[in-house]
Amino acid sequence: KATLKTLCALLRSHVSRSPSVLRHFGVLLPLCCHRLVYSYYYIKPLFLDSMSESALRESLARGQDALHFWKAKENSDFYKLSEEPDLLVTIVTVRRHKALDFHYLLQVTQRLNDLLFGCEGKLRCADVLICDVEHGEQGNEDASLLEKHFKVVRRSSEERDANINSMNSFEREKRDYVFCLRKGLELTHAKNVVVLEDDAFLYVKLYHPERLQRYWNPEPYRILEWIGLGSVLATALLLVVPYCKRLPVAVFLSRAHLLFFTLYFMAVVELFGRHYLLELRRFSPQLYQLSPVTECCTPAMLFPGNSSLRVANYLDALFCSAGNAKDTVLLEPNLISHIGAFSSIRGNPAVPKLL
């Protein structure tokens, strides 16, 4: 209680003696963050529509470029799968009726094409398998276009009909996922498997939506990370402050000041946006971390060793529905950029938005 009273008195003192704290949260941070999509200060009414339209235009342009690229490209030998590759990249694809012109699958495979020859001393970095799980009669035009470049697998018509009848879209998506996992292992016996959905854009994850990466979250490790970051920044500030002159308030290292500035910096980094702090980890691979994940999504998942078979068996024993889909673990920051604006299992708005 004594510490709490001291903290409240200190807060009143800072606010009354100097408007700097209010200026930081009410002026400086809004000016810096009002265009950052994943910040609390992002002004949706002013920027969301225009930024969403811009993102859609860019994706449409990339899709058309990818279409021209694959139409003009000569046949390649990516369709030849190795018996035991170190890495198999399986792309799960379906015809997205409202996003045909965006050609998500062609965008992903074009980026993969650039990366496959990046390994020194190897013909290519990985084998690629396209798993077409389209259930409709129209077929998946993009997958058909890629058949002369990559190995494409599909269910038989009997299997497809059995899968589409009498089940919800989430269970159907799970069964499609299991089918693709098993088919990849059956064809290659790969040592490691990365499963990409056809609207995941590969830089070299494993992906989690940026809007769900905030500190204000029930996951204990994020709360600990949040407190730790606030206390480190507060300690650093209080150690440096004594060497600074002409400060408007007297600040020194004490428990009350440490608690106040820990909470201050926790508020700053949360309002600014944890996603943008995670981007700083890209300076070195050693700064990446593995952590638990909640809620969606699975645009890209890595399955080391034979874990893909265990996951397939596990998923087979579950029945999926809304609120109980097929999601699990996360690498931070993301190694995959999500380009999809149209869902294949949920209803889509007439004009998709970034948020």
Place 142 in a pLDDT band, splitting at 50, 70 and 90: very high
In this predicted structure, the answer to whether residue 69 has a pLDDT above a threshold of 90 is: yes
CATH code (residue 136): 3.90.550
In this predicted structure, the answer to whether residue 202 has a pLDDT above a threshold of 50 is: no
Output the pLDDT for position 205.
Answer: 44
- The answer to whether 288 and 334 have CB atoms below 8 angstroms apart is no
Place 353 in a pLDDT band, splitting at 50, 70 and 90: low
> Which of the pair, 63 or 276, is modelled with greater confidence?
63
Do 220 and 178 lie in a common domain? no
In this predicted structure, the answer to whether residue 77 has a pLDDT above a threshold of 50 is: yes
Do 99 and 125 lie in a common domain? yes
Do 234 and 261 lie in a common domain? yes
Do 177 and 305 lie in a common domain? yes
Do 107 and 154 lie in a common domain? yes
In a domain, 293, yes or no: no
In a domain, 292, yes or no: no
Do 156 and 304 lie in a common domain? yes
Helix (H) or strand (E) holding 88: strand 88-93
Output the pLDDT for position 151.
Answer: 92
- Domain end residue (candidates: 272, 288, 314): 272
Which of 91-95, 183-187, 248-252 bottoms out in mean pLDDT, i.e. has the lowest? 248-252
> Which of the pair, 4 or 278, is modelled with greater confidence?
278
Do 161 and 310 lie in a common domain? yes
The amino acid at 270: E
Do 7 and 141 lie in a common domain? no
59 token code pair: 């994706």
Do 100 and 188 lie in a common domain? yes
The parent domain of residue 267 ranges over 2-33+215-272
The amino acid at 318: L
In this predicted structure, the answer to whether residue 288 has a pLDDT above a threshold of 80 is: no
Residues 77-103: what's their mean pLDDT?
A: 85
Do 158 and 235 lie in a common domain? no
- Domain end residue (candidates: 254, 272, 290): 272
In a domain, 312, yes or no: yes
In a domain, 59, yes or no: no
Q: How many other CB atoms sit within 10 Å of the CB of residue 54?
A: 12
Place 107 in a pLDDT band, splitting at 50, 70 and 90: very high
When divided into structural domains, the chain yields a total of 2
Output the pLDDT for position 311.
Answer: 67
As a whole-number percent, the residues of the chain with pLDDT over 70 amount to 65
Residues 260-270: what's their mean pLDDT?
A: 89
For 118-171, the three-class secondary structure string (H helix, E strand, C coil) is: CCCCCCCCCEEEEEECCCCCCCCHHHHHHHHCEEEEECCHHHHHHHHCCCCHHH
In a domain, 151, yes or no: yes
In this predicted structure, the answer to whether residue 45 has a pLDDT above a threshold of 80 is: yes
In a domain, 284, yes or no: no
Q: Print burial letters for 96-122: b (CB count within 10 Å at least 16), e (below 16).
A: beebeebbbbbbbbbbbbeebeeeeee
> Which of the pair, 305 or 60, is modelled with greater confidence?
60
In this predicted structure, the answer to whether residue 194 has a pLDDT above a threshold of 70 is: yes
- Strand ranges for 206-293 from DSSP E: 289-291
In a domain, 193, yes or no: yes
In this predicted structure, the answer to whether residue 66 has a pLDDT above a threshold of 50 is: yes
Output the pLDDT for position 328.
Answer: 46
Torsion sign (Cα): 37, 39, 45, 46: negative
Do 197 and 125 lie in a common domain? yes
Nearest by Cα to 212 from 154, 296, 131: 296
Output the pLDDT for position 203.
Answer: 33
In this predicted structure, the answer to whether residue 263 has a pLDDT above a threshold of 70 is: yes
Do 137 and 155 lie in a common domain? yes
> Which of the pair, 175 or 144, is modelled with greater confidence?
144
Output the pLDDT for position 24.
Answer: 73
In a domain, 294, yes or no: no
